[in-house]
Structure 1
């Protein structure tokens, strides 16, 4: 079975690098430095012209995933923008104050996104009960769950990810993400049994003008950027893994 590689990007250049490197699917965001927010309509339209499926992050702000009615309305309108741009799907999540998935909000958002593919994002990692959240995600019709297994990095929760993959079976895909790199991808796949994997491959560095940093337009003089070479390396590793598994 082919392992699907999803690469998250937040710029047109990052999008181009991920596709040239061989990504199977794109998670399109803005502000990856804070976990990813909703991309602009302009970036959505650029991404829609590519030959691979693109899923837009639907997250109106940084912070937790407890959203107000106004923010939920904003998310509905962002879903409309993703559909109008011609994207394949969306990535979303919503929580109750203590971390449990907000099934009511997610039901309405999923209904609003009818006809689009849907990934449940790492709001899942905040839930108090993985089994309950897994069944909720399945009942809501999500295709996959992006998760680090409740840890900061997927590599730190391989046992939890393996258990999720086993309990999900063929009902929903479990996609490990957070800290996945070419040097650890084989371990993640081997020890979890996952058939999709999520990475950023942001190993390149772009210099920012010091004047921009001095005036507060950037917080660092170097910015992480998506590396085509790193994506291609990861693709080669996944193909090798597939061949060794047959």
Structure 2
């Protein structure tokens, strides 16, 4: 299973052309991803792949106040209304997950799923990689009913955390899926598969060719550097590694 993280229509098209199995939708990937607008949700819902959308109301940490939590609640309703397959959420910090906020969101997502007759698949995002005790976090995620955890196993690059992935998969014991993502490269997939990982997450982006960059956009602050875009060939390389 390859989930490709995309932030625009071109990314969706490239992921589809490259053979992705699922999309994670967000915006501002260079900030780690933020909640996408409703217009992008509607476009994603028309794609012939399941789509999970990220709810992250602001950049920075994941220690959310009441206003932030309310925004996530509203996002979940938007995702369900658009007809998406799932949501990607998380809250907490080094000392642990915010069980209270997560429980409220999970309950809300379940109610939304019941109302539309189809559940929202729930992914706990990489707040998990901040935890001092990820195994305690895993137990909370299982208890709350998450379907999967997106993680680099605490490493900067997922491929550097193979031993920790094996331990997480063992601790999960089939109760929750461990999905590898974060700086992931196709060359690392085989070792992660051997460690028991079967779902993979990558943005599959490459730098925009210099010939396609308008320097004026950079000068005026409309674009930060050359930027990166979803690359069909990188998606295909991941598909080959995960097949």
Decide: shared fold, TM above 0.5: yes
Partner Cα separation in structure 2 for residue 203 and residue 164 of structure 1 = 30
Partner in structure 2 of residue 166 of structure 1: 170
TM superposition outliers: structure 1 runs of 4+ over 6 Å: none
Matches within 5 A, 1:84-233: 84-96=81-93, 98-114=94-110, 115=113, 116-190=120-194, 192-206=195-209, 207-220=212-225, 222-233=226-237
RMSD, aligned α-carbons: 1.2
TM-score by length of 1: 0.91
Partner Cα separation in structure 2 for residue 234 and residue 77 of structure 1 = 33
Partner Cα separation in structure 1 for residue 234 and residue 10 of structure 2 = 14
Kept after mapping to 1: 8 A contact 2:157/2:183: yes
Number of paired residues?
A: 233
Kept after mapping to 1: 8 A contact 2:179/2:201: yes
Kept after mapping to 1: 8 A contact 2:159/2:189: no
CA 99–42 in structure 1, closer or farther in 2 if over 3 Å, else same: farther
Partner in structure 2 of residue 243 of structure 1: none
TM-score by length of 2: 0.92
Partner Cα separation in structure 2 for residue 10 and residue 103 of structure 1 = 29
Matches within 5 A, 1:23-42: 23-42=20-39
Kept after mapping to 1: 8 A contact 2:25/2:54: yes
Partner Cα separation in structure 2 for residue 238 and residue 155 of structure 1 = 14
Partner Cα separation in structure 2 for residue 19 and residue 235 of structure 1 = 11
Once the 2 structures are TM-superposed, how far is the Cα of residue 100 of structure 1 from its aligned partner?
A: 0.6
